[in-house]
Amino acid sequence: LASFTGFADRGPMVSAFPLGDYLAGIFGAFGAMVALHERQRSGRGQVVDVSLYEPMLRIIESVVVRYDQSGRLKPRLGNQMEEDVPRNIYATADGGHITISCGSERIFHNLLDAMGRADLKTDARFIGMSARVANRGSIDDIVAAWMQRQTTEAALTSLERADVVAGRVNDIAAV
């Protein structure tokens, strides 16, 4: 996980909280529930064996398959994903931050509508996910520039009205 977490121009990063411990706990709890269900069904107990490593490997299975099938490693792209563009955390005019993820054409078009940039729907650089992936920097800069002109509340209102997958980045004090 750390090998592809972070930014390409910096070293790998680890999670700011013990992700492996929490995942192992969740997998263990799920295993215990299944074992209890089996005991109720058949009267036989079950052994639940969970390591810290296996749940982490499970959540990155697509990375494992990719490497196995193609020999390609997943690159570090910061807050972005290879296959969903635009996807990032954007700063707003009043110092806030909003995360946006456009995993489909519909959500991307909704974002363009929220930004008042319907003209970009016919821009060849952004028609289809493959084109957006190839032009990641351009669309990311356009979204970032729009966000920097908006207050956090105004941007959230526009994004929510347009059904864009977006949310405010809160610190614990705001939760």
Residues carrying an active site annotation: 21
Q: What is the distance between the alpha carbons of residues 151 and 69, in angstroms, rounded to a whole number?
A: 45
Residue 116: name the closest of 155, 152, 58, 83 by CA: 155
Q: What is the distance between the alpha carbons of residues 174 and 157, in angstroms, rounded to a whole number?
A: 18
Taking the CA of residue 125 as centre, how many other CA atoms within 13 Å lie in the half-sphere pointing to its CB? 10
Residue 142: name the closest of 132, 152, 151 by CA: 132
* Partners of residue 104 on adjacent β-strands: none
Q: What are the b/e assignments for 53-69, b being 16+ CB within 10 Å?
A: eebbeeeeeebeeeeee
